[in-house]
Amino acid sequence: MGGPSEREYREKLIKIREDLYKRIKNVRNEFAKMEKIKLDALKKADESRRSAESHINKMEGDITKSTDLAPESKKRLRSEIDILRKEVQEKYTELRTRISETMIPT
């Protein structure tokens, strides 16, 4: 009579299994939190792009309607607007790519 019985070993195995599943559940919860953070980041990126595009479109309309600006000034401003539009799209694409690539299992 010295060593643990089969029942004691089984109880230990059950405890190990319970601990394993508890840890797995915690890891899955952490992944769910990360996915939510990624989704929030994507929403913020979309919102930033839409906001910038809206401001650009409004300014472009104001420039077109303006009678105080010389045609050369309007032309230069439209050129800068085009550059800014491309920059907004480029940065938006860069952000989306970076967010999407974050935490992809390898």
* For residues 1-21, average pLDDT: 91
Listed by start position, the domains of the chain span: 6-101
Does residue 103 have a pLDDT over 60?
A: yes
- For the segment 33-74, what is each residue's pLDDT rounded down to a tens digit? 999 999 999 999 999 999 999 999 999 999 999 999 999 999
Amino acid 105: pLDDT:
57
CA distance 62 to 81: 12
Amino acid present at 19: D
Residue with more model confidence, 99 or 81: 81
d(CA 106, CA 97): 16
Q: Radius of gyration (Cα) for the chain, nearest Å? A: 29
Whether the Cβ atoms of residue 81 and residue 56 lie closer than 8 Å to each other: yes
